[in-house]
Amino acid sequence: MPPNQITEWKRQLQERAADVFGAGGALSNEPPVDPKPLHAKIGQLALENDSLSGALDKAGLLSANK
């Protein structure tokens, strides 16, 4: 990596940070996302994963590289 590469990246970020991260507080056209159904789905998948993991472990099919 050329010695001045990081300096160049830093300069580019400073010039374009607003484009990358958005102009402070700009509103999105997308509707807000309700996190409740997402949290419910995460909980459901976690329970299914634990259940399947336990069943595989009981059957001796779960690999040791968990």
Overall pTM > 0.85? no
Q: How many domains does the chain have?
A: 1
Degrees, nearest 5: CA angle 55-36-32: 135
Helices (H), 1-66: 5-21, 35-59
- Assign 23 a pLDDT band (cuts: 50, 70, 90): low
The pLDDT value given to residue 22: 72
Note whether residue 40 is domain-resident. yes
Give the number of other CB atoms < 10 A from CB of residue 9. 10
**pLDDT tens profile 32-59:** 889 999 999 999 999 999 999 999 988 8
Task: Name which of 66, 34, 26 is nearest 50 in CA terms.
Answer: 66
Two tokens at 36?
A: 């409740």
Note whether residue 15 is domain-resident. yes
Please say if the pLDDT value at position 31 is more than 60: yes
**Is there a contact between 40 and 46 (Cβ–Cβ < 8 Å)?**
no
The pLDDT value given to residue 43: 97
- Alpha-carbon distance of 20 to 26, in angstroms, equals 12
Note whether residue 55 is domain-resident. yes
Note whether residue 66 is domain-resident. no
